[in-house]
Amino acid sequence: MNIKLKTLIFLFFVFSLLNYSFAHEFKKDEINSIISKFILDNPQVIEKSLQNLNIKRSKKNFEAVLTELKTIPNPKLKNANANITIYEFFDYNCGYCKSVMQNIFNIYKKDKKVDIVFVEYPILSNSSLSAAIASLAARNQNKYFEFHSKLMKHTGKIEDKLLLSFAKELKIDTKKFKSDYSNEKIMLIINKNREIANRLNLRGTPAFIIGNKIYPGAMSEKDIEKAIALERKK
């Protein structure tokens, strides 16, 4: 007999027993004894019920965090008819993040029903934070994706002079660019991203959310396509 059927029989039995006890003055201790015996003889029923409860709670928590993530103004590549959103948590000092950059852009170009959200999640070093701030400062001058691409293609150390040189190459107003380094709105975005990542137990980069599922680690273009297809089947 499967666990689900046993659970239903048990619940029906308890309900019937309670009704019978009211009519025949069954003692409370006797009812407790019968219920306790069933639980001891069938512990898997309780274990399964607890597992289902934890799954429901976990799903509800994930949905709440995802709803909050949607409110953070992270950079986004949008398609007018998108029905799937991909969130990428990344760090500019992460080699694996650099390796998947082109995969992300390829997916966006090929699939006109996908949005891509770039979640700045600097965790590897102080220069990661500087790079994230600089990228969001570049966004204030509509140069985010150009700046992002330059950083992702860069293979050496990330220093302030490098960030400034990228800004100059992209003809960014360097005075405003430097001023935006201390922009509270930029740090607010980064701190909120970090909070979301912690609540999702993300411990490294890259990490992806595709639809309603988390995919930790680097993903090939084919892996991303499979994840999208799986989500669309739901």
Task: Please give the pLDDT value at position 220.
Answer: 97
* pLDDT exceeds 60 at position 56: no
Q: What angle do CA 11, 12, 17 make, to 5 degrees?
A: 100
Give the three-class secondary structure for 27.
Answer: coil
Q: Where are the alpha helices (DSSP H) in 86-125?
A: 95-110
15-24, 130-139, 183-192: range with lowest mean pLDDT: 15-24
pLDDT band at 60 (very low <50, low <70, confident <90, very high): confident
Task: Please give the pLDDT value at position 54.
Answer: 45
Task: Please give the pLDDT value at position 29.
Answer: 62
Q: Where are the alpha helices (DSSP H) in the chain?
A: 3-24, 28-41, 43-71, 95-110, 126-139, 144-153, 160-169, 174-179, 184-199, 221-233
* pLDDT exceeds 90 at position 91: yes
Percentage of the chain beyond pLDDT 70 is 75
pLDDT band at 47 (very low <50, low <70, confident <90, very high): low
Task: Please give the pLDDT value at position 50.
Answer: 47
Q: What angle do CA 216, 220, 225 make, to 5 degrees?
A: 95
DSSP conformation letters of 151-189: HHH--S---HHHHHHHHHHTT--HHHHHHGGG-HHHHHH
Structure tokens at 111: 């699939």
Q: How many angstroms separate the CA atoms of 202 and 215, rounded?
A: 10
Mean pLDDT to the nearest integer, 196-216: 93
Task: Please give the pLDDT value at position 93.
Answer: 97
Task: Please give the pLDDT value at position 234.
Answer: 78
pLDDT tens digits, 143-189: 999 999 999 999 999 999 999 999 999 999 999 999 998 899 999 99
Contact predicate 151/139, CB 8 Å: no
Contact predicate 111/224, CB 8 Å: no
What domains appear along the chain, each with residue ranges and CATH number?
3-69 (no CATH), 74-233 (3.40.30.10)
pLDDT band at 53 (very low <50, low <70, confident <90, very high): very low
Instruction: Round to the nearest angstrom and report the end-to-end CA distance of the chain.
Output: 30
* pLDDT exceeds 70 at position 135: yes
pLDDT band at 59 (very low <50, low <70, confident <90, very high): confident
Q: How many angstroms separate the CA atoms of 72 and 59, rounded?
A: 21
Contact predicate 114/84, CB 8 Å: yes
